[in-house]
């Protein structure tokens, strides 16, 4: 049996997502490695679609604000300045600058002294996949993939092909929690689904709001 490290498996899987022919995983998508969100760090995030419409791009050019600010807000229920300051984890100066920048970019608005999200981000236009690679620890994979479900439409655990037997015997845990199970061969660059997850809701919450704005900042060239 050929052995390989997690790093080797991760490198091969990244290449497979970019250049391979993965079954039932969208191609021509943006791929991010070791993506840190409010809920854990996924090995890979894949994003299909663009949550920002064309008219938004000019407004957002050069945006540097911390996306944790945006994640604290909601479209209808406004947040007071003191609420944002206390929960952002930023200094008062950084928080003030971020609020000002987000407001100028049209991402947030002020109404009756409270901050709100605007509709500049079309949350439903982006499909987010989160992948967690594991050589063996399927229980840990479940725990981590459950965290990613807070923002991802699809959360998938990826294992080597030789783990098929033990995974089939425990597949009901993944099915009950709607966590995808994908077998991957890093040498042959082939994959096999043991369980394909159903699409989770795209309902905006703090974790998804954080990820969407962070994804945009990662894609945008700095001015």
The confidence score (pLDDT) of residue 222 equals 42
Phi then psi for residue 9, to 5 deg, are: -65, -40
Using the Cα atoms of residue 197, residue 201, residue 206 and residue 211 in order, give the sign of their dihedral.
positive
- DSSP of 153-215, one letter per residue? SEEEEEEEGGGHHHHHHTHHHHHHTT-EEEEEETTTTEEEEEEPPPPPP----HHHHHHHHHH
Residues in the chain: 223
Residue labelled with tokens 């995030």 = 45
Name, in order, each residue with C-beta under 8 angstroms of 136's C-beta and a sequence gap of 6 or more.
159, 163
Is the separation of the CB atoms in 161 and 185 below 8 Å?
yes
pLDDT digits (tens, 9 = 90+) for 88-123: 989 999 999 999 988 988 889 999 999 999 887 778
Structure tokens at 157: 């655990």
pLDDT of the chain, 223 residues: tens digit per residue? 568 899 999 999 999 999 999 999 998 899 999 999 999 999 999 999 877 665 555 566 666 667 889 999 998 899 999 999 999 989 999 999 999 988 988 889 999 999 999 887 778 888 999 999 999 999 999 999 999 999 999 999 999 999 999 999 999 999 999 999 999 999 999 999 999 999 998 888 999 989 988 887 776 544 4
d(CA 200, CA 209): 15
E strand segments, the chain? 30-36, 41-48, 108-111, 114-117, 127-133, 154-160, 180-185, 190-195
Residue 41, token pair as written in the block: 């760090």
Instruction: Check if the beta carbon of residue 208 is closer than 8 Å to that of residue 121.
Output: no
In this prediction, residue 223 carries a pLDDT of 40
Task: Phi first, then psi: give them for residue 96, nearest 5 degrees.
Answer: -60, -45
Structure tokens at 8: 């080797």
pLDDT of residue 104: 85
């Amino acid at each position: 049996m050929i052995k390989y490290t997690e790093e080797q498996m991760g490198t091969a899987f990244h290449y497979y997502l970019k250049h391979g022919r993965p079954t039932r995983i969208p191609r021509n998508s943006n791929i991010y490695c070791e993506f840190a969100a409010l809920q854990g760090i996924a090995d890979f995030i894949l994003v299909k679609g663009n949550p920002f419409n064309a008219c938004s791009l000019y407004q957002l050019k050069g945006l540097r604000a911390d996306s944790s600010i945006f994640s604290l807000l909601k479209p209808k229920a406004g947040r007071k300045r003191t609420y944002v300051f206390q929960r952002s984890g930023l200094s008062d100066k950084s928080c003030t600058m971020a609020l000002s920048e987000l407001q100028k970019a049209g991402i947030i608005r002020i109404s009756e002294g409270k901050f709100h999200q605007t509709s500049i981000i079309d949350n439903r236009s982006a499909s987010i996949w989160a992948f967690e690679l594991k050589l063996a620890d399927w229980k840990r994979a479940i725990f981590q993939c459950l965290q990613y479900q807070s923002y991802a439409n699809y959360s998938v655990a990826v294992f080597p092909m030789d783990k098929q037997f033990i995974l089939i015997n425990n597949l009901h845990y993944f099915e009950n929690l709607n966590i995808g199970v994908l077998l991957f061969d890093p040498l042959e660059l082939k994959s096999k689904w043991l369980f394909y997850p159903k699409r989770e809701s795209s309902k905006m919450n703090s974790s998804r709001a954080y990820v969407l704005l962070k994804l945009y900042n990662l894609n945008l060239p700095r001015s």
